[in-house]
């Protein structure tokens, strides 16, 4: 039964990255690569200075941005680019409510909303913190990372306990 969700999960991953891609393009942030999967590259092609690739393990997807270009944009544009994938998944989930595709989009959006290390909302939080502080602060950034991850873990455990008690 879970195997039936795999194509929808892959489509949700691609949609998530397309959200980042479109936002980056709209904010004039250069995209250098759009990839599906991890590991060794199986196939790639290049269009307009962007390499599109498929990797051996289709467990993830990514858009490689010109990071200095992104960081040179106004804060609002940085936030838009970083959160566009979540927005794309939430819109798709709402529009396809009640389907497997909707569920996979909600799942992907929620896992990226939690401020876990290297997830979209974590990256957005770091960008905002650096803007507020007007500099990098390893102590503040690690505190944000540990606190966000800890709170996410506590929330996850609480939901599991609630689910078990509800059964």
Give the active site residue among 17, 33, 41, 141. Answer: 17
Task: Verify whether residue 41 is a known catalytic residue.
Answer: no
The string of DSSP codes covering the chain is: -GGGGHHHHHHHHHHHHHHHHHHHHHTT--EEEEEEEEEEEEEEEEETTEEEEEEEEEEEEEEEE-HHHHHTS-HHHHHHHHHHHHHHHHHHHHHTTTSHHHHHHHHHHHHHHS--TTSHHHHHHHHHHHHHHTS--HHHHHHHHHHHHHHHHHHHHHHHHHHHHH-
Active site amino acids: 17
């Amino acid at each position: 039964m879970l195997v039936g969700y795999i194509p929808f999960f892959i489509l949700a991953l691609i949609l998530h990255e397309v959200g980042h891609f479109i936002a980056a393009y709209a904010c004039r942030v250069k995209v250098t690569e759009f990839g599906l999967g991890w590991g060794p590259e199986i196939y790639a092609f290049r269009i307009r200075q962007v390499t599109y690739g498929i990797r051996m393990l289709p467990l993830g997807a990514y858009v490689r941005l010109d990071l200095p270009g992104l960081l040179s944009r106004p804060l609002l544009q940085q936030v838009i680019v970083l959160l566009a994938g979540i927005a794309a998944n939430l819109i798709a989930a709402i529009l396809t409510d009640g389907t497997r595709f909707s569920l996979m989009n909600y799942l992907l959006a929620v896992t990226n909303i939690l401020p876990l290390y290297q997830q979209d909302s974590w990256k957005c939080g770091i960008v905002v913190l650096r803007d507020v502080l007007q500099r990098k602060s390893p102590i503040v950034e690690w505190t944000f990372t540990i606190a966000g991850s800890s709170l996410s873990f506590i929330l996850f455990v609480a939901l599991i306990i609630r689910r078990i008690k509800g059964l």
